[in-house]
Amino acid sequence: MKLRFRVLIALLSLTVTVPLAPAQEPGTSTPPAGSVPTNPPAETQGAAAEAPANAPVPDTRPPTGAEEIGVGLRHQGRNYIVPALQVFAYGDSNRTISTSGQPGTELAGTVVARLAVQHVTRTSQLTLDYMGGGLFYARESDLNSTLHQFGITQAFTGRRWALVLNDRAGYMPESSFGFGGFGSLGSGIPGGFGSSLGNLGPAFSSESTLVTGRGYRIDNTTTAEVQYVASPRSTFTATAAYGLLRFEEGGLVDSDHRIFAGGYNYNLTRRDTLGVTYGVSLFHFRGSNRGFDDHFVQLVYGRRITGRLAFELAGGPQLDIFKNSLTSSTRHYFWNLHSSLRYRWPRSDLEISYGRYTSSGSGLLYGAETDQVGVSASRRFTRNWSGSFSPGYARNTNLEQTTAAGTSVDFNSYYAGFGLQRALGRYADLSLNYTFQGQKTDSTDPLGAMINSTLTRHTFGLGFSWHGRQLAMD
């Protein structure tokens, strides 16, 4: 509960203290939050000077940092605020989100507001995205709840140095993995309209990759990153992060993790970057003496074509060292991998990501080997019609050092979301949305007995959303 009030207080303080102007500043644009705008590679300096004012802004985030690289921004005002509001009614086939389910479909609805803010000065940039509201069930008022997601990036830049601070937080009544209650406003923070927030790499995120039952949970990740431009081609990064996952309902495992990492980036060309990262992740599970440390090395490659393509590939060996191991082995060797592809056409956008890493276990395990795949695709069919498709899959396997001997657990979780939007003028639209969530659990107890369970859920509904124009800030 405390996090919800802190988020609201921070949001109100920002909106009260930032002055607004009635129109967008023309002909201005800015790099994405978290990038170092100074000292670009030598090959890009002349091109940047000749770029038209409405050209996409290059994303110069270093690939070894906490945030994933992007394709750059379409033309936007430097300082702006964009509000939005949505009313969404839908049917829920499994309102308790359990393997047994409940017979019949329950009618529900959400009222959600969203606010995107960006404020830029010569040496700093603030980017904020907040989304929150209420979830209401027609017949079972005990399921009514509130939901909040929040993201902020504050970057300070100098001639060679930059300090980038990030925070991503959520207060949700259920797992955010495949959650469809935000409708056409977006699947979560970051993302959606009007926001230039970057995605944190999967190893940094505290969000769940499992479908769990109803109950409030808090996930929060804070990162601090120092970037140093040693030459037009070379950049060093040093990153520290703290993440937590808390559950208000009993029976689930609360966790903390800390990450310390350092990296080096070398620009081969204006489009291609090589890098290397070394880091350590420290996992701790509250209420127990269990925990483990990850030591990892990654070789990193990034390729960017501004306004069109961003590709990132990182991987390498990893060593997990366990405290109070439940087996005779205290070490676990692992290969980590992360890859993301973003491609933009004039009328379509595509994002594909894959991660293989060690996670906290999302409240059901004391750590897990996690494989996660996500896809997000959108297309504008005509001037007024557009559609979106966003499937995802995650597999979480227990770590043998944290479970009883002979026990194995596999969670296979998946979702798919479909959306169809019809514009009603410039600032409103109607949307049809459908989301499927599923999870299959396979486990073996110490006696070798197999235990299987399956969860399925369908939500489908109709929503109306309104978003204001960009309001420029003085």
pLDDT at 289: 85
Instruction: Name the burial class of residue 68, with classes exposed (0-12), middle (13-18) and buried (19+) by CB atoms within 10 angstroms of its CB.
Output: buried
CB 148 within 8 A of CB 220: no
**How would residue 329 be classed by pLDDT, with cut points 50, 70 and 90?**
confident
Per-residue CA distances from 8 to 97, 102, 215, 434, 470 (Å): 28, 34, 21, 30, 22
pLDDT given for residue 30 in this prediction: 42
Distance CA 445, CA 438 (A): 23
What is the pLDDT, as a whole number, of residue 406?
Answer: 63
Task: Quote the percentage of the chain above a pLDDT of 70.
Answer: 80
Is it the case that residue 191 has pLDDT exceeding 80? no
Per-residue pLDDT, averaged over 137-148, amounts to: 92
Residues sharing a CB contact under 8 Å with residue 157, sequence separation 6 or more, in sequence order: 36, 37, 38, 123, 124, 125
**In the numeric block, which tokens belong to residue 450?**
């197999």
Residues 6+ apart with CB under 8 A from 150: 7, 10, 11, 129, 130, 131, 132, 167, 168, 169, 170, 189
Greater model confidence, 168 or 36? 168
pTM of the model: 0.85
- Distant-in-sequence, close-in-space partners of 421: CB < 8 Å, separation ≥ 6: 184, 385, 386, 387, 388, 429, 430, 431
Residue 320: its pLDDT value, please?
Answer: 94
> What was the pLDDT predicted at 195?
59
- Please say if the pLDDT value at position 75 is more than 90: no
- The total domain count for the chain is 1
222: nearest Cα among 247, 199, 244, 254: 244
Calculate what percentage of the chain has a pLDDT beyond 90. 60
- The lowest-confidence range among 23-27, 349-353, 469-473 is 23-27
Mean pLDDT of 319-337: 89
Instruction: Render pLDDT for 363-380 as a digit per residue (tens, 0 to 9).
Output: 989 999 999 999 999 999
Mean pLDDT calculated for residue range 66-80: 77
Q: What is the mean pLDDT of residues 304-329?
A: 91
Instruction: Return the structure tokens found at 388.
Output: 């979106």
Q: State pLDDT tens for residues 242-271.
A: 999 999 987 899 999 999 999 999 999 999
Nearest-CA neighbor of 436 among 143, 217, 177?
A: 177
- 472: tokens are 């420029």
Domain at 448, CATH number = 2.40.160
Structural domain boundaries, residue 127: 2-472
Give dist(CA 132, CA 126) in Å, integer.
Answer: 20
pLDDT at position 325 is: 82
Return the closest-CA partner of residue 268 out of 234, 297, 307, 299.
234
